[in-house]
Chains A and B, each alone.
Chain A
């Protein structure tokens, strides 16, 4: 037995003491995810606040976990929720089933459905984990108006789709923002949950 035998057994301990700590201080310190992290979904809006979702159900079709339920509805002159004829009247994502694969956002033809970096998706009630449309819709940015309201940015939906990116740019510049993409990934990443109005405060649930 050598003289170091007594402390040889602490080799692992000591070496570990000088390694980088892997423990995360969650929830005291929230980790910033990779920019393309597949977090909670968001239903985006056109620059005037109309919904981008057209209720096409392609996300629901693409979903391998059958986590999405959509029903379309008819926009009427009295109640318009999106440009064009159709809007998503019912929109639900069941986060008990969602596996975060992102096939739904690939399927979305209008870039209405995107994923944020919000990852705090745990709860103690099954019902609370079925997110409805009002919870998933993106917050109203400056210049946006809560639907239903008439189309503000053009005469028909083509104006929204063809000139949409341009209009978004103009609208955001006016609002003093620099993020050109209304899907708001970066914004959500910087302040997790801050941009998401859908998730109701704890005391209301």
Chain B
């Protein structure tokens, strides 16, 4: 593990969260008072292509889990060359189709709680980000696909969009810029898979939420087969501050390849769980300090750096810098920075079973490995936790995991097996202990084999 980077004096960098603690922070009045919608005006003064380069140069990476460079994603949207007019041959080409911006607000990863409070406390930062992004990619329609269960956030977002329309920030010819933008807030119907961007697009189109075949990628054929940018809420909400503060300011936070602030959602056995905005690269040790340490002083056993789809960490990993590279080097992923912290009272096989049951329930069913694999894995884990497992079940678990990992249609399958493989990797003995009662040679009745 590399040396942790130089310790910054104050790890709390309120950029996204700076308005959160104000009373009625979600109103347009408060947002505007604190410099809101200034970035939008600045952006309108720039050329769209310059905005794309600015975001590209700022090094902003997607906050939804994969960490794809945001500016690069925007630059994939095909735009007509200067002066290019559609001809009979090219009228159906992607550059002449309408472009769409879709915000992925279907926050469903277990442990993740950053977009919901952001949309509750500061919805206008998202809306301003949408306006700037849509302007940059020349989209005139933006859909915010929001998780259906968080009705309170949906209401607040609806209210904010109304306010923005009333203030002239949305609609036709916004503030005389000649730019039109409509935002639609669309509530999902409760499927984890709809957080996958192509499944989200299918769901948005009114179809069954299942991932699409890629290629074509959304950048060329996304929503209604038109070029589409799909970005996470936090990513887009960061954009106004980049436009306002500039790329150099943005790069003062975080690390070289993962700059900027990030909201870490701490949950589980800590004294003060919640959202902590800190520069990328902050370690769990620092985050725990901020959160008042482990609850009741019971020592840390294991934790997830970015939700249940990222491989587990243990107390060995307290000093892993939590950015995209740091987490990956340590054998996990940054994911959504949903840091779930478990103390020594928690059984790893039990927690892993609960997560696997989540994936079993949420697998969309399209591809075999994820659909059947999670069904089987959950079955084995349930049996083990009931004391009916055997040692060879552990090998079966790992083998089934290897048959799901990288074989499934989308990343859900990959994420689903990571708690199991990492759990067995770090806590194999705990699984073995569960199997003590059942020696491997037990001649079990093949209950299902008929």
Contacts and interface: CB of A to CB of B under 8 A. Distances in A.
B444 interface: no
A174 interface: no
A116 B166 CA distance: 91
A76 interface: no
Nearest to A162: B450
Contacts of B450: 158, 161-162
Interface in A25-61: none
A86 to B, nearest CB: 16
What's the interface size class on B, roughly? under 10
Interface in A115-163: 158, 161-162
Nearest to A159: B450
Nearest to B446: A162
Interface string A7-18: 000000000000
Contacts, number: 3
A170 B442 CA distance: 26
- Chain A contact residues, majority secondary structure: helix
A54 to B, nearest CB: 14
- Chain B contact residues, majority secondary structure: loop
Nearest to A158: B450
A45 to B, nearest CB: 20
Nearest to B447: A162
A74 B450 CA distance: 21
Interface string A160-179: 01100000000000000000
B70 to A, nearest CB: 54
Nearest to A161: B450
A186 B221 CA distance: 73
Interface in B413-450: 450
A161 B450 CA distance: 8
A161 B447 CA distance: 11
Contacts of A158: 450
A162 B445 CA distance: 10
A71 B213 CA distance: 45
A202 B450 CA distance: 43
A162 B449 CA distance: 9
A159 to B, nearest CB: 10
Nearest to A157: B450
A186 B63 CA distance: 75
A158 B450 CA distance: 7
A162 B447 CA distance: 8
A167 to B, nearest CB: 14
A154 B450 CA distance: 15
Nearest to A160: B450
Contacts of A161: 450
B145 to A, nearest CB: 43
B323 to A, nearest CB: 54
Contacts of A162: 450
A35 B37 CA distance: 95
A46 to B, nearest CB: 15
A162 B448 CA distance: 10
A69 B184 CA distance: 67
A161 B446 CA distance: 12
A200 B450 CA distance: 37
A162 B450 CA distance: 7
B443 to A, nearest CB: 16
A81 B450 CA distance: 20
A158 B448 CA distance: 10
Nearest to B449: A162
A158 B447 CA distance: 10
B245 to A, nearest CB: 67
Interface string B11-31: 000000000000000000000
A139 to B, nearest CB: 28
B434 to A, nearest CB: 27
Interface in B77-119: none
A43 B450 CA distance: 22
A161 B445 CA distance: 13
Interface in A72-93: none
Interface string B226-237: 000000000000
B449 to A, nearest CB: 9
3 contacts: A158-B450, A161-B450, A162-B450
Question: Closest 3 CB pairs between A and B?
Answer: A162-B450, A158-B450, A161-B450
